[in-house]
Amino acid sequence: MILGYARVSTDGQSVDAQVKALRAAGAEKVYRETASGARADRVQLRRVLDQLDKGDVLMVTRLDRLARSTRDLLNTLAAIADKGAGFRSLGDTWADMTTAPGRLMLTVLGGLAEFERELIRARTSEGRERAKAKRREDGAQAEAHRAPEARGDPPWFWK
Protein backbone atom coordinates (compact mmCIF):
# COMPACT_ATOMS: atom_id res chain seq x y z
CA MET A 1 0.00 0.00 0.00
CA ILE A 2 1.24 3.51 -0.77
CA LEU A 3 0.55 6.00 2.01
CA GLY A 4 1.06 9.73 1.57
CA TYR A 5 2.03 12.38 4.11
CA ALA A 6 1.29 16.05 3.41
CA ARG A 7 2.35 18.79 5.82
CA VAL A 8 2.21 22.56 5.91
CA SER A 9 3.63 24.77 8.65
CA THR A 10 0.85 27.27 9.23
CA ASP A 11 -2.92 27.46 9.10
CA GLY A 12 -2.73 29.97 6.23
CA GLN A 13 -1.19 27.35 3.94
CA SER A 14 -2.98 24.51 2.17
CA VAL A 15 -2.04 20.86 1.74
CA ASP A 16 -4.29 20.55 -1.32
CA ALA A 17 -1.49 20.70 -3.92
CA GLN A 18 0.51 18.09 -2.01
CA VAL A 19 -2.51 15.80 -1.66
CA LYS A 20 -3.25 16.10 -5.36
CA ALA A 21 0.36 15.21 -6.30
CA LEU A 22 0.45 12.27 -3.88
CA ARG A 23 -2.85 10.87 -5.17
CA ALA A 24 -1.66 11.26 -8.78
CA ALA A 25 1.47 9.28 -7.86
CA GLY A 26 -0.64 6.43 -6.46
CA ALA A 27 -1.13 7.19 -2.76
CA GLU A 28 -4.19 5.31 -1.55
CA LYS A 29 -4.47 7.24 1.71
CA VAL A 30 -2.98 10.64 2.51
CA TYR A 31 -2.34 11.86 6.06
CA ARG A 32 -2.61 15.67 6.32
CA GLU A 33 -1.00 17.81 8.97
CA THR A 34 -0.60 21.47 9.87
CA ALA A 35 2.44 21.64 12.13
CA SER A 36 5.96 23.01 12.09
CA GLY A 37 8.49 20.49 10.83
CA ALA A 38 10.64 21.35 13.83
CA ARG A 39 8.01 19.94 16.21
CA ALA A 40 8.72 16.43 17.41
CA ASP A 41 5.07 15.70 18.29
CA ARG A 42 3.53 15.58 14.82
CA VAL A 43 0.43 13.45 15.40
CA GLN A 44 -0.33 12.57 11.78
CA LEU A 45 3.30 11.64 11.05
CA ARG A 46 3.30 9.34 14.07
CA ARG A 47 -0.02 7.89 12.91
CA VAL A 48 1.20 7.15 9.36
CA LEU A 49 4.43 5.62 10.69
CA ASP A 50 2.37 3.38 12.98
CA GLN A 51 0.22 2.29 10.02
CA LEU A 52 3.14 1.18 7.86
CA ASP A 53 3.45 -2.55 7.25
CA LYS A 54 6.10 -4.60 5.49
CA GLY A 55 6.09 -3.73 1.79
CA ASP A 56 4.22 -0.44 2.21
CA VAL A 57 5.66 2.81 0.87
CA LEU A 58 5.46 6.21 2.56
CA MET A 59 5.45 8.99 0.00
CA VAL A 60 5.93 12.76 0.39
CA THR A 61 6.14 15.54 -2.17
CA ARG A 62 9.50 16.85 -0.85
CA LEU A 63 11.91 15.77 1.88
CA ASP A 64 11.34 18.95 3.89
CA ARG A 65 7.71 17.87 4.37
CA LEU A 66 8.99 14.87 6.35
CA ALA A 67 11.92 16.31 8.31
CA ARG A 68 13.68 19.61 9.02
CA SER A 69 17.13 18.26 9.81
CA THR A 70 19.35 15.51 8.52
CA ARG A 71 19.25 13.85 11.92
CA ASP A 72 15.45 13.88 12.02
CA LEU A 73 15.27 12.59 8.44
CA LEU A 74 17.65 9.71 9.12
CA ASN A 75 15.81 8.74 12.30
CA THR A 76 12.47 8.74 10.47
CA LEU A 77 13.88 6.76 7.54
CA ALA A 78 15.36 4.22 9.99
CA ALA A 79 11.92 3.81 11.61
CA ILE A 80 10.40 3.22 8.16
CA ALA A 81 13.10 0.70 7.22
CA ASP A 82 12.70 -1.12 10.56
CA LYS A 83 9.08 -1.81 9.60
CA GLY A 84 10.17 -3.25 6.26
CA ALA A 85 8.54 -0.37 4.42
CA GLY A 86 9.91 1.92 1.75
CA PHE A 87 10.07 5.66 1.32
CA ARG A 88 9.76 7.86 -1.72
CA SER A 89 9.96 11.62 -2.27
CA LEU A 90 8.34 12.87 -5.46
CA GLY A 91 10.51 15.99 -5.68
CA ASP A 92 13.78 14.36 -4.63
CA THR A 93 14.05 11.36 -6.94
CA TRP A 94 17.41 10.31 -5.45
CA ALA A 95 15.65 9.77 -2.08
CA ASP A 96 13.74 6.65 -3.08
CA MET A 97 14.22 3.74 -0.67
CA THR A 98 12.29 1.49 -3.02
CA THR A 99 15.29 1.37 -5.41
CA ALA A 100 18.87 0.21 -4.89
CA PRO A 101 20.40 3.56 -6.01
CA GLY A 102 18.08 5.43 -3.65
CA ARG A 103 19.04 3.21 -0.71
CA LEU A 104 22.72 3.73 -1.60
CA MET A 105 22.31 7.53 -1.63
CA LEU A 106 20.52 7.56 1.70
CA THR A 107 23.15 5.27 3.22
CA VAL A 108 25.94 7.57 2.00
CA LEU A 109 24.12 10.62 3.36
CA GLY A 110 23.65 8.84 6.68
CA GLY A 111 27.37 8.12 6.82
CA LEU A 112 28.21 11.75 6.03
CA ALA A 113 25.83 12.97 8.73
CA GLU A 114 27.44 10.66 11.28
CA PHE A 115 30.91 11.85 10.20
CA GLU A 116 29.79 15.46 10.58
CA ARG A 117 28.44 14.79 14.10
CA GLU A 118 31.80 13.29 15.10
CA LEU A 119 33.69 16.32 13.73
CA ILE A 120 31.42 18.71 15.61
CA ARG A 121 31.83 16.70 18.81
CA ALA A 122 35.63 16.74 18.44
CA ARG A 123 35.78 20.48 17.69
CA THR A 124 33.50 21.27 20.62
CA SER A 125 35.64 19.20 22.96
CA GLU A 126 38.85 20.84 21.70
CA GLY A 127 37.31 24.29 22.12
CA ARG A 128 36.30 23.52 25.70
CA GLU A 129 39.81 22.33 26.52
CA ARG A 130 41.38 25.46 25.01
CA ALA A 131 38.96 27.68 26.95
CA LYS A 132 39.76 25.88 30.22
CA ALA A 133 43.50 26.21 29.60
CA LYS A 134 43.17 29.90 28.73
CA ARG A 135 41.24 30.59 31.94
CA ARG A 136 43.97 28.89 33.98
CA GLU A 137 46.78 30.81 32.21
CA ASP A 138 45.09 34.20 32.18
CA GLY A 139 43.39 34.83 35.49
CA ALA A 140 43.35 38.61 34.89
CA GLN A 141 41.49 38.13 31.62
CA ALA A 142 38.90 35.97 33.35
CA GLU A 143 38.62 38.55 36.15
CA ALA A 144 37.93 41.35 33.63
CA HIS A 145 34.96 39.46 32.20
CA ARG A 146 33.25 39.01 35.54
CA ALA A 147 30.36 41.28 36.48
CA PRO A 148 31.45 44.52 38.19
CA GLU A 149 29.70 43.49 41.42
CA ALA A 150 31.61 40.21 41.43
CA ARG A 151 34.93 42.12 41.09
CA GLY A 152 33.98 44.43 43.98
CA ASP A 153 33.34 47.42 41.68
CA PRO A 154 30.11 49.39 41.99
CA PRO A 155 27.58 48.84 39.20
CA TRP A 156 27.72 51.32 36.32
CA PHE A 157 24.50 53.06 37.40
CA TRP A 158 25.99 54.04 40.78
CA LYS A 159 28.64 56.20 39.15
The packing angle between helices 70-82 and 43-51, to 10°, is 30
3-class SS of residue 91: coil
Known catalytic residues are 9
Give the gyration radius of the chain's Cα atoms.
Answer: 24
CA proximity to 8, closest of 29, 31, 30, 37: 37
Residue 68 carries which DSSP code? S
Cα–Cα distance for residue pair 84/57, rounded to 1 Å: 9
